[in-house]
């Protein structure tokens, strides 16, 4: 039997849980979940998941703990303390995979603390969106020893179509921050193109058809042209802007650490709220 635990049952964590719980498997899979939201826990239970009373209880009863909370502070909060994930994993021997997109330094710091208790923590951010999670088609980008990635692979492949190790601890998050930079920059530039086309009197439906067809060879633009097109753009909500600032801030911090100048990243961070905020 595979025992998977998911902490954070929001947009991504809830979708991961749904994908695993609705999948067809050759073996038995138990999925335990925890979230501070009662509504998220209710939805998870309706899907057939087993609710946990705390993050510590969850970590004591599973083989892999998937941490899918929002930011660095939340990752630290659920991992540390007598009732936290690390303490629970010390009893069960569970592997802890941080799927949240946080700073590499955060996971490296927690991994060092966990190692003192005999617990392995890896960075394993995911990409592919909630739809990819429900379809078990995510990319899981692992950092750390190859052996740790292989240990987690049977669990991670429940929702990751591609599970890849990209280097030492922290490398997964560095790769994810770089990947996210492409997406967020594309979104802002695409909206500028829409504004230019609109101001020029171009038929926006025709423009969308042009971009969608040419993108077969050029690449996606975060779905801007694959849903009904509007100008001015619809607000994507405060949570999107909050997450965008977090991810872009992570890329900028990483650039500072490496001595790499990222002027476009800074500009995207400055303007993404104006382009897509409420």
Quick one: 110 and 228 in the same domain?
Answer: no
- Give the residue numbers marked as catalytic: 176
- pLDDT at site 231: 74
CATH number of 213's domain: 1.10.1040.10
Domain boundary among the residues 168, 199, 222 is at 168
Quick one: 100 and 10 in the same domain?
Answer: yes
127: number of Cβ within 10 Å: 17
Q: Which one-letter DSSP state was computed for residue 233?
A: P
CB 113 within 8 A of CB 120: no
- What tens digit of pLDDT does each residue of 224-268 get? 665 666 777 666 666 878 888 898 888 888 888 888 888 888 888
* CA 109/CA 113 separation, integer angstroms: 7
Quick one: 86 and 190 in the same domain?
Answer: no
**Sign of the C-alpha dihedral computed for residues 57, 150, 159 and 75 taken in this order:** positive
Task: Work out how many domains the chain is built from and give that number.
Answer: 2
Domain boundary among the residues 109, 133, 168 is at 168
Quick one: 147 and 40 in the same domain?
Answer: yes
- pLDDT at site 182: 84
Domain boundary among the residues 168, 189, 207 is at 168
pLDDT at residue 24 greater than cutoff 80: yes
- Higher-confidence residue of 245 and 140: namely 140
Q: Where are the alpha helices (DSSP H) in 100-167?
A: 104-115, 129-134, 146-156
Burial label, 239 (beta-carbon count in 10 A; 0-12, 13-18, 19+):
exposed
Quick one: 82 and 181 in the same domain?
Answer: no
Cα atoms in the Cβ-side hemisphere of radius 13 Å centred on 263: 0
Quick one: 197 and 63 in the same domain?
Answer: no
- Higher-confidence residue of 185 and 140: namely 140
Q: Which range (149-158, 165-174, 231-240, 247-256) has the least confidence?
A: 231-240
Quick one: 177 and 134 in the same domain?
Answer: no
Residues 76-102 as b/e (b if ≥16 CB within 10 A, e otherwise) read bebbeeeebbbbbbbebebbbbbbbbb
Both tokens of 27, joined, read: 């073996």
Q: Which residue has the tokens 């994993």?
A: 89
CATH number of 55's domain: 3.40.50.720
- pLDDT at site 82: 96
Pairing state of beta strands 121-123 and 126-127?
Answer: unpaired
Quick one: 35 and 160 in the same domain?
Answer: yes
Quick one: 184 and 243 in the same domain?
Answer: yes
3-state secondary structure 45-79: HHCCCEECCCHHHHHHCCCEEEECCCCHHHHHHHH
Give the phi and the psi of residue 246 in degrees, each rounded to 5: -65, -50
Structural domain boundaries, residue 26: 2-168
- pLDDT at site 222: 61
Quick one: 163 and 189 in the same domain?
Answer: no
Mean pLDDT over 10-31 rounds to 96
Quick one: 122 and 13 in the same domain?
Answer: yes
Quick one: 162 and 191 in the same domain?
Answer: no
């Amino acid at each position: 039997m595979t025992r998977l635990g998911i902490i954070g049952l929001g947009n991504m964590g809830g979708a991961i849980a749904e994908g695993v719980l609705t999948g067809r498997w050759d073996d038995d899979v138990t999925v335990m979940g925890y979230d501070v939201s009662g509504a998220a826990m209710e939805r998870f239970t309706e899907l057939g998941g087993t609710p946990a009373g705390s993050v510590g209880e969850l970590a004591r009863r599973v083989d892999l703990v998937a941490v899918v909370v929002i930011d660095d502070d939340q990752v630290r909060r659920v991992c540390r303390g007598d009732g936290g994930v690390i303490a629970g994993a010390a009893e069960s021997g569970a592997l802890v995979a941080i799927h949240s997109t946080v700073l590499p330094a955060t996971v490296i710091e927690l991994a060092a603390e966990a190692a003192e208790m005999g617990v392995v923590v890896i960075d394993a951010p995911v990409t592919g969106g909630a739809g990819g999670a429900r379809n078990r088609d995510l990319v899981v980008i692992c950092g750390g020893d190859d052996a740790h990635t292989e240990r987690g692979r049977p669990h991670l492949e429940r929702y990751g179509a591609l599970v890849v190790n990209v280097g030492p601890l922290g490398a997964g998050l560095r790769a994810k921050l770089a990947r996210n930079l492409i997406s967020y920059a594309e979104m802002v530039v695409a909206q500028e193109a829409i504004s230019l086309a609109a101001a020029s009197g171009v038929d926006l439906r025709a423009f969308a058809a042009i971009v969608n067809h040419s993108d077969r060879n050029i690449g996606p633009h975060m779905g801007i042209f694959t849903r009904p097109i509007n100008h001015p753009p619809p607000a994507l909500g405060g949570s999107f802007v909050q997450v965008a600032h977090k991810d872009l801030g992570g890329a900028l911090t990483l650039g500072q650490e490496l001595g790499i100048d990222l002027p476009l990243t800074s500009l995207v961070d400055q303007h993404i709220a104006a382009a897509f905020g409420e």
